[in-house]
Amino acid sequence: MRVGLVSPYSFDVPGGVQAHIRDLAEALIGLGHHVSVLAPADDETVLPSYVVAAGRAVPVPYNGSVARVALGPISLTRVRRWLREGHFDVLHVHEPFAPSLSLLACLAARGPLVATFHTATPRSRALAAAEGVLQPVLEKISGRIAVSELARRVQVEHLAGGGVEIPNGVSVERFAGAAPLPGWPGDGGALGFLGRFTEPRKGFGILLDAFSRLAPERPGLRLLVAGPGDADEALAGLDPALRERVVLLGLVSDEDKARMLRSVDVYVAPNTGGESFGIILTEAMAAGTAIAASDLDAFRRVLDDGAGGALFRTGDAVELARVLGGLLDDAGRREALSAYGSTAVAAFDWPVVARRVLDVYDLVLAAVPGEVTGDDETLPLPEGLA
């Protein structure tokens, strides 16, 4: 099968949607299918061979964060060329209402079209700005996928339909077989955090508060942090005496992310909102690492209401410190969480998830036979998106 995947967000910038698309593409290729991914990108030299760059991206506020997207007549021309040259059996766009390539692909394409919805945020300024073109897009989508029950609920309540719930996948073997970083986790205990630590909704400040409460009584306790951001800004409120016990790795490769997760006693997810799934939780489970997470609905679902990880009240640094202290002092509890997670994560392994996606493709192809084609290139970009 020839599959065209579309990413709305810049592929040379880390992000959950981009990682999902990359791993799905590689899983489908591993199953014998031909895959091409269209995505914005500023640096084409870092792109996998199956990714086609659709030009530079611009930052826009979206879903409580800043997304790097591509929109406008030039992007539309590149979308149409990619569709024309791809001869795809099915087109699979991600976040079709994000103001970027996925929306343009939906507008330009004809034929078998599948859309995956990642976000659990029902409304946004960007979505409102594109509201005039949403109905034609909805009418073109033949198959809908939601990565979580929350993302599916958005479709039911706001987009006049449901969809098949297929979770984000994780490359279990990659994480389970990774070696810890040298010197980690150490004897005094190690906590881990991964993400844009200067982005408020990721909750890094809450974790620092909890760490500050724990560290004075635990002289060997360290915090290992991976992800982009300004280190001075992130640690500005931390007691200078504790700074040397916070190790910032910066932006890491996929290999080093797996090693980082294998290097800590507890992975901490202190996010405050905007999460529809929580792929990092499944990655930590695959790495065999105990988890402490805020009690967001999305995290509760992944962690089976606490069976796969310890939960604490969202935004409550005091309770987080208490939960972390309990886990650090109870190796048996950590081992039990690790064992549960290692078993539960098998359902999220990418080959399993990719086959479920292929089932959706087969249903769509049965209902909408024929190759994906593009519209007439003389048609203008809809008003509001030019």
Whole-number pLDDT of residue 184 = 97
Question: Cα Rg for the chain, rounded, in angstroms?
Answer: 21
Burial class (CB in 10 A: 0-12, 13-18, 19+), 215: buried
Confidence class of residue 295 from pLDDT cuts 50, 70 and 90? Answer: very high
Average pLDDT, the chain: 89
Q: For residue range 69-92, what is the model confidence (pLDDT) as tens digits?
A: 788 888 999 999 999 999 999 999
Residue range 220-254, pLDDT digits in tens: 999 999 998 888 888 988 999 999 999 999 989 88
Query: Is the predicted pLDDT of residue 13 greater than 90, yes or no?
Result: no
Residue whose C-alpha is closest to residue 21's, from 85, 114, 133:
114
Element at 81 (helix H, strand E): helix 73-86
How much of the chain, in percent, has pLDDT values that exceed 70? 89
Give the C-alpha distances (Å, rounded to integers) separating 254 from 171, 174, 178, 279, 302.
Answer: 11, 9, 11, 13, 21
Residue 154 has pLDDT above 90, yes or no: no
Q: Is the dihedral of CA 296, 331, 349, 307 positive or negative?
A: negative
Task: List Cα–Cα distances, 119 to 46, 180, 344, in angstroms.
Answer: 26, 32, 23
Residue 8 contacts residue 92 (beta carbons within 8 Å): no
Note the pLDDT of residue 382. 56
Instruction: Say if CB 363 and CB 81 are below 8 A apart.
Output: no
Residue 141 has pLDDT above 80, yes or no: yes
Are the C-beta atoms of residues 91 and 373 closer than 8 Å to each other? no
H/E element, 35: strand 34-39
pLDDT at residue 277 is higher than 90? no
Domain boundaries, the chain: 2-169+349-374, 172-347
Does CATH number 3.40.50.970 belong to domain 2-169+349-374?
A: no
Are the folds of 2-169+349-374 and 172-347 the same?
yes
Looking at domain 172-347, its CATH architecture is: 3-Layer(aba) Sandwich (3.40)
Q: pTM of whole model > 0.95?
A: no
Buried b (16+ CB within 10 A) or exposed e, 232-261: eebbeebeeebeebbbbbeebebebbbbbb
The tens digit of pLDDT for each residue in 204-225 reads 999 999 999 999 999 999 999 9
Number of neighbouring beta carbons within 10 Å of residue 322: 15
